[in-house]
Amino acid sequence: MNTWVIARSTFGEAIRKKIGMYILFTSLIFIVLSQLFASLSMSGSVAQQTASSGSLEVQIITSMAFGIMVIGGLILAIFLSFDLIPSDCEKKTIYTILSKPVWRWQYVLGKFVGTVMALAVNIAFMGLALMVVVFAKTMQIQWPILAGVFFTFLQFVLLAGISIMLSLLVTRNINVAMCFGFYILGTVNEFWQDIAKAAPSPVIHWIANFLHVAIPSFYSFNFVNIIVHPELWKETPTLAHDAAASVLYGILWTSGVLVIAVAVFSRKEV
């Protein structure tokens, strides 16, 4: 119950933050305008004269919209979570909260859940905008888009957990920089093993293997290519297995990050 109260309060604060509204509003505008960009990119091309031009245009719209969603979600996940606990400590409001029958793990978990709720609302609006744009173009509901929106959301749930954990260990600026670094390195995580195999020296081999293990693979949540190109479904017989594995991967990593955050905060003097 205490966790839920803290989560609702955190959600309300996150929704009222101006940066969240700015990012959401900007993302929605660009998602809607993606139809115009797709039309301009098709104008005058040979593809426009083919029967598949409508399908190609939808692919461009979907691909651009997911790119916008990733950028918006990345900024939201970091800037909605990096300052939650430090700001409570500076304002001394944490003393009021912890003086009540609230365990520290409930406090951390409540902050995380509230952030996730705010992320869910923002990304859901972006996904809804994409669904509407595609529907207006095809007059059909493209249900696979929902799967892409879900996995986009899932990766930023993990990133928000990392940001909350880092907020207990490093300063705000370092936290933001590290989160961006983690995400960038995590999106190319699949290549670290290839780099390790081709490494000319043992040091590079060790570093590449360490990065592969120590940094969460955000690439594991990327199913956009299959959603944009439905013909790839038949070429990916393990799609359901890969999707389930990605969900489990995200749950395990997020749980591990939160356990570390709770352990650090339990020993932290506030």
Question: Mean pLDDT, to the nearest integer, of 176-197?
Answer: 85
Q: What is the pLDDT of residue 160?
A: 96
Is the predicted pLDDT of residue 133 greater than 60, yes or no? Answer: yes
Q: What percent of the chain has pLDDT over 70?
A: 91
Question: Mean pLDDT, to the nearest integer, of 113-121?
Answer: 95
Please tell me the least confidently modeled range out of 39-43, 156-160, 221-225: 39-43
Is the predicted pLDDT of residue 26 greater than 50, yes or no? Answer: yes
**Which of 46-50, 216-220, 233-237, 257-261 holds the top average pLDDT?**
257-261
Q: What is the pLDDT of residue 33?
A: 87
Give Cβ neighbours of residue 122 (< 8 Å, ≥ 6 apart).
20, 23, 24, 72, 73, 76
Is the predicted pLDDT of residue 229 greater than 80, yes or no? Answer: no
Q: What is the pLDDT of residue 205?
A: 74
Q: What percent of the chain has pLDDT over 90?
A: 46
Give Cβ neighbours of residue 243 (< 8 Å, ≥ 6 apart).
147, 151, 223
Please tell me the least confidently modeled range out of 156-160, 242-246, 259-263: 242-246
Question: Mean pLDDT, to the nearest integer, of 166-171?
Answer: 93
Euclidean distance between CA atoms 56 and 230, whole angstroms: 12
